[in-house]
A and B are shown apart, each in its own frame.
Chain A
Amino acid sequence: MTNIQRFTVHDGPGIRTEVFLKGCPLNCKWCSNPESIKPNPEAGVYPDRCIGVEKCGFCLSACPAGEKNFLVTENNRVMAINRDSYTACLSCAKACPANALITWGKMYTVQEIVDTVLEDVPFYVKSGGGVTLSGGDPLVQWKFSLAILKECKEHDIHTCLETEQHVSPDILNIVYPFVDLVIADIKHMDPQKHREYTGVGNELILHNIAETAKKEMPLVIRIPVIPGHNDSR
């Protein structure tokens, strides 16, 4: 799990709470949330926020690897984490006072997520909004997503699922009864190009989308325009 954002307005109708779940079957070259691809919590680095290892350096002292720590510093600032040898113990992120190192992908229980979603029910009621599960792709952890969706429907909350559709059709059949709206991205119509850019072909995706449409499930298809990848005719 990466993040919950309240009051989003671009993914589905009205005012929504968006739950971003970690894990994505694709590996798009242009992905804006690369932290969300791997399904376990990791440390993220924001060098701009670092107040300087000389004044602070809490992360360096906290790192269990001691002298050979995995933090890459430059000009007195922590710039990156050397991820090849890194163990993701997250000690540095816990020590950082400035949020220059933070934990990406906090673990939540279904209940914690649903509780947060419930906080904004009045906003959904007034605006015709609800909850949106997004990612990564929420269907990578489909059982978890299903549990959230079920709980939300228990509370009569409008649910929207933003998915790559790169999953077994059976999963869709199990999840759909608890979904009010599906948003699907098509990255490229050509299977070959699709494989080139995203690492997987698009046959399964297109099949699932066609099936979804047949079920009369409300569906929004979005085509991200990535300059140099799919903006040619």
Chain B
Amino acid sequence: MALQSTMKEKPIGITPFDQEWPVSDGHMGKNTSPFPRVNRFINRVLEGEFTVDHQRASLVTEAYQKYEHEPQVIKCALALANVLDNVEINITEDELIAGEMAAPMKAAPIFPEHSFNWVMDEMKHHPWHKRLHDRYYISKRSAKKLKDIESFWKGKSIDEVVISEMNEDELKGTNVGRGFYLLNLYMYGGIGHLQANYEKLFTRGFYGLKEEVLEKLEGLDKNEDPAGAKEDFYRAELITLEAAIRYFRRYAALAVKIAEKEKIPLRKQELYFIADNCKWVSTNPPRTFFEALQLLYLATTILLIETNGHSVSIGRFDQFMEPFYRRDIESGEATKEEIQELIELYFIKHLWWTKLRDRLTVIANSGRGMGGDSITLGGVDREGSDATTDLTFMCLDAIAHTRSGVPWVAVRWHEQTPRELKVKTANVIRIGTGQPKVFNDQAAIPASLRAGRTLEDSRNYHVVGCVEIDSGGKEYGWHDAAYFNIAKILELAINDGRCIGCGEHCDRWESCGEEGKRLGPQTGRLAEFNSFDRVLEAYDRQMEYWVDLMVRGIEIMDRIHQRLKPLPYLSTLIDDCTLKGIDVSAGGARYNFTGPQAVGVGTTADGMAAIKQLIFEEKKVTAEDLLNALENNWVGDEPLYALVNSDQVHHYGNDDDYADELAKFATDTYCKHVENRPNCRGGKYLPGIYSVSANTALGLTQWASADGRVALEPVSDCLGPVHTWAGSHDTKGPSAITKSVTKLDHIRAANGTLLNWKFSPSCITGETGRDNLIALIDVYFDRKGMHSQFNIVSRETLENAIKNPEEYRYLLVRVAGYSAFFVELSKPLQYDIMGRTELSFD
């Protein structure tokens, strides 16, 4: 991929590299593309309502019934084939790249194999169109069709099997229990969090993939496969590949049909183009940029239909699309402008995909997009040289032009990243849509090496979903396995393994025997500890106990996914599944990881600091007083509440070693207990440190905490300092945050880390503002920080948006890992984002 040697000129997009857009203009979001078709296309998509569609669920159920006695992998393949062959398909106005997710545009398909109870429960008792946010509509017909299949799935969906196979101990800390570590994503949904091997697909085409499987099938040694498992797997792969080919051809035929009736000659010609593209790439490797995009989009969509995973990512678009781009430009097949328009239309096609999430999940993971469909730009190539291409710039321009939050764009910076690319990145960030996020090769590559990937694969990493480093096309990383609240661990550590604030309000009140029984090991109460070290020891012991249980739970889920939901189509697109004859869900991939994340770093660090300083050093407060204050949710202890929230107590995020070292201890302890544990796919566990938006959900199940949080308030987000309702704990500005955060070991947190920044627009305007922003990122990266994201929005704007949502329909903000329309977010999340310290360095 060392393209620079053949390209004499510096890479550049269709706008100058230092093109500026108005700072914090993100919410204007209308008609911002120079291409009228793109603007029409966006407006049309944004206007429509979201719906729920039954077709996928019905067709899958039909196949499951018909092929009940087939081996599971064959059954799954036939179910996918039944969907692809029979689901209704459409091509809409202005489209140039065809494809849908087994449901019309902005309609959510249903995945009963993963979970169905909540779908039925909500459809009947909590209608989606009555939600305050994340609203969906469903037709009477679709509702009836879903009801028809309800009885079939009873006891068969993955969630039900998982919960029935987990014992009381394994459940008590999870989302089904007290809720301080969340396993819900993979309990109720697919795994996703991967990238298909597009380079392979582009070189061989579906035909080539089929040949590879056929060869393996023919060469199969019966003695090596006595139970016929490999044979079944290969047959299943073939079934899905053939179904994929037919699916492409259905779109080709549809395009011809519409073209025949089309009156406008130009559109007629376009439709024939679509037909030719779909037909050609149904079996062959693409020849042009346009064909490659069609193949990329539809092949990915089939993955979504099969897996129900979010964060199915695109990977290094500016690398694997570059040969097509260059060939088209050199041969005159397309102009740069035409390719730019195609990229923008392709980006908007990501809005076709939507995922229905349950009503509890949407409190924390608000947003109706598919989620995590990430593209990675820039960085170094496999040899370690700068990999920037024209497409790097063109994709950033496309984000500036489309402003629809998708796909999620990550830009990799390294020591030799061209200044031009940094300027372009900063200018797009300053528009204020929260895009792109910036990754640091200097931290990500060592982290990837540490995880055990090769040097080449590490340099070639891409970003999956929100935060995670992944080796595209070769990895099944279970990157979003769990969110684990380390602040709750501190609570258990100071209260002898019991919850603080136990009472009837807790969902587990009955299962705990209405007496607040001990949840964790007996490690003593704060009042019994004679030194602060005892707190840290108790924290370590609680951590070990709870990480053990979390891992047991995740392993149960993993084995159930393997058993019930093999993924033969995905297996054809991830190395080395076909080679080994093992499904991707069962360890067929080259790299197999499991990544659970620690949440609440700031909350834990500040809680520890308050305990250490006030109880053990200054002796201003007794342990009993603090425990009582927490039990009473600070009521009657207002002075103490004010004190722990003031800068008289050491706080993480102020470049103050006292608190920062506690943050490091808190996260190192988590990493120590997670890293290197084996998983059941032959890989190992990798810890991450970030919350995305799980800090809101985890806060909702935790009582008051020693850092000055009141009950149910969110715990701190990602790597950020604490901001409680009483105020922000960081007072020293961005340079101090940078230094505090980079005292943690990002390379050890190999599943990824994240720091969210929020700037007021006024402090980064002008060239000076831009250059200061770049300098800030540069220093963060030199200090081995891994990843940063930015919100450029004033508190005032957010307050207005809460008051007048209609006027701010298009206001995009960064949640964490992703951008979403602010007015569509849940209230707790809106307030959490508003509360993050706005840095205005005046």
Is A142 located at the chain interface by the 8 A CB criterion? no
CA distance A58 to B640 in the complex (A): 11
B714-771 residues with Cβ-Cβ distance < 8 A to A are: 732-736, 739, 763, 768-769, 771
Contact pattern, A 104-145, Cβ under 8 Å of B = 1, otherwise 0: 000000000000000110110011110000000000000000
A18-34 residues with Cβ-Cβ distance < 8 A to B are: none
A9 to chain B: closest CB distance in Å? 5
Contact pattern, A 14-50, Cβ under 8 Å of B = 1, otherwise 0: 1100000000000000000000000000000000010
- Pick from A9, A49, A99: contact of B772, CB below 8 A: A9
Is A169 located at the chain interface by the 8 A CB criterion? no
Chain B residues with CB under 8 Å of A99's CB are: 642, 646-648
A-contacting 9-mer, from B74-82, B285-293, B773-781 = B773-781
Is A64 located at the chain interface by the 8 A CB criterion? no
Is A176 located at the chain interface by the 8 A CB criterion? no
Is A189 located at the chain interface by the 8 A CB criterion? no
CA distance A119 to B783 in the complex (A): 13
**Cβ–Cβ contact B842 & A7, under 8 A:** no
Q: A8-B842, A99-B648 are in contact. Are A126 and B779 (CB under 8 A)?
A: yes
| Most-contacted residue by chain B among A6, A13, A51, A119 (CB, 10 A) | A6
A15 to chain B: closest CB distance in Å? 5
**Cβ–Cβ contact A55 & B638, under 8 A:** yes
| Most-contacted residue by chain A among B638, B734, B736, B772 (CB, 10 A) | B772
A91 to chain B: closest CB distance in Å? 15
B530-577 residues with Cβ-Cβ distance < 8 A to A are: none
CA distance A159 to B732 in the complex (A): 21
Is B226 located at the chain interface by the 8 A CB criterion? no
Chain A residues with CB under 8 Å of B775's CB are: 14-15, 123, 126-127, 129
Chain A residues with CB under 8 Å of B782's CB are: 122, 126
A114 to chain B: closest CB distance in Å? 16
Instruction: Write the chain A residue with the least CB distance to B769.
Output: A9
Q: A9-B768, A51-B638 are in contact. Are A123 and B643 (CB under 8 A)?
A: no
**Cβ–Cβ contact A98 & B733, under 8 A:** no
Q: How large is the interface on B (under 10, 10 to 19, 20 to 34, 35 or more residues)?
A: 20 to 34
B461 to chain A: closest CB distance in Å? 25
Is A56 located at the chain interface by the 8 A CB criterion? yes
**Cβ–Cβ contact B648 & A97, under 8 A:** yes
- Pick from B642, B655, B771: contact of A98, CB below 8 A: B642
**Cβ–Cβ contact A56 & B639, under 8 A:** yes
Contact pattern, B 644-674, Cβ under 8 Å of A = 1, otherwise 0: 0011100000010000000000000000000
**Cβ–Cβ contact B842 & A97, under 8 A:** no
CA distance A51 to B639 in the complex (A): 7
Is A215 located at the chain interface by the 8 A CB criterion? no
Chain A residues with CB under 8 Å of B769's CB are: 9
CA distance A7 to B772 in the complex (A): 10
- Pick from B646, B648, B763, B776: contact of A123, CB below 8 A: B776
Chain A residues with CB under 8 Å of B772's CB are: 9, 14-15, 127
Is B841 located at the chain interface by the 8 A CB criterion? yes
**Cβ–Cβ contact A97 & B736, under 8 A:** no
**Cβ–Cβ contact B647 & A7, under 8 A:** no
Instruction: Write the chain A residue with the least CB distance to B766.
Output: A9
Is A233 located at the chain interface by the 8 A CB criterion? no
CA distance A122 to B734 in the complex (A): 13
**Cβ–Cβ contact B841 & A9, under 8 A:** yes
**Cβ–Cβ contact A52 & B638, under 8 A:** yes
Chain A residues with CB under 8 Å of B842's CB are: 8-10
**Cβ–Cβ contact A123 & B733, under 8 A:** no
Q: A8-B842, A58-B639, A98-B639 are in contact. Are A119 and B646 (CB under 8 A)?
A: no
Instruction: Write the chain A residue with the least CB distance to B726.
Output: A98
Instruction: Write the chain A residue with the least CB distance to B620.
Output: A97
Chain A residues with CB under 8 Å of B646's CB are: 97-99
B236-288 residues with Cβ-Cβ distance < 8 A to A are: none
B235 to chain A: closest CB distance in Å? 58
Is A5 located at the chain interface by the 8 A CB criterion? yes
- Pick from B638, B733, B783: contact of A7, CB below 8 A: B733
CA distance A120 to B771 in the complex (A): 16
Chain B residues with CB under 8 Å of A10's CB are: 841-842
Chain B residues with CB under 8 Å of A98's CB are: 639, 642-643, 646
CA distance A122 to B782 in the complex (A): 9
B interface with A by C-beta (< 8 Å): 638-640, 642-643, 646-648, 655, 732-736, 739, 763, 768-769, 771-772, 774-776, 778-779, 782-783, 839, 841-842
**Interchain Cβ contacts under 8 Å between A and B, 7 examples:** A6-B732, A51-B642, A119-B736, A122-B779, A123-B779, A126-B776, A126-B782
- In the complex, besides A97-B640, A99-B646, A119-B736, 15 extra interface pairs with C-beta distance below 8 angstroms are A7-B733, A8-B841, A9-B763, A9-B842, A14-B775, A51-B639, A55-B639, A56-B642, A98-B646, A119-B735, A119-B739, A123-B776, A126-B774, A126-B776, A129-B775
Cβ-closest 6 pairs across A and B: A127-B775, A97-B643, A98-B642, A126-B775, A7-B733, A97-B639
